[in-house]
Amino acid sequence: MKRGRIIMSIMSIMSNMSIMFVLVVLSCSRGADAPKEPVATPPQPPVDSPPAMVPAPETDDQRCARLIREYQAVRDGSPGACGTDDDCVILPGGVDDCGRALDKKTAELLEPLYRTFRDSCGLTRRCAPRVAVPYCREGRCVEGRPPGAGELPRPPRPR
């Protein structure tokens, strides 16, 4: 009798396992064929223009050209106004000319641009050494000798 009970228990377990197996197989196959519920997507903001493009890094030539344009814009935008000779200085040359007389305020604005250009691009003009004295004439900075100061001494000529 014990043997019969054991066999009946085993049969019951196997029957339950068979039912579970059938249920698992049916649920797996049904999931693949079952219609999927639509997934709600969050609303997208309206697109008025294309996304901003990240600019390419500036090349050395582009950077130098930009520095020259900035230097010229500041320098050429200055009237070179002065009240006394002390308001004037001689700009160093080498960016796009060989220097000139200009007011100190503008020269102070140009100094960092000049240094950046000189250090990263190299000076584009090779200017001969010269004596230039800034002075104020009729409210504008000019270079040369103030009126009545006489002529600059000339170096002796080689024989």
For the chain, 159 residues long, give each residue's pLDDT as a single digit of tens: 566 566 555 655 655 555 544 444 445 555 455 555 666 676 776 666 666 677 778 888 899 999 999 999 999 998 889 999 999 999 888 888 888 999 999 999 999 999 999 999 988 888 888 778 899 999 999 988 655 656 655 666 776
Taking a C-beta distance cutoff of 8 angstroms, is the pair 102, 88 a contact? Answer: yes
Instruction: Kindly list the domain boundaries of the chain, sorted by start residue.
Output: 62-143
Under DSSP, is residue 143 helix (H, G, I), strand (E, B) or coil? strand
Q: Which pLDDT value is given to residue 22?
A: 41
Q: What is the pTM of this model?
A: 0.55
Q: Which pLDDT value is given to residue 145?
A: 66
Residues in a beta bridge with 143: 134
Q: Which pLDDT value is given to residue 29?
A: 52
Q: Which residue has the tokens 């503008």?
A: 106
What's the pLDDT tens digit per position in 50-83? 666 777 788 888 999 999 999 999 999 988 899 9
Q: Which residue has the tokens 């250090």?
A: 119
Q: Which pLDDT value is given to residue 13?
A: 61
Under DSSP, is residue 53 helix (H, G, I), strand (E, B) or coil? coil
User: Any idea of the CA torsion for 7, 10, 14, 17, to the nearest 10 degrees?
Assistant: 160
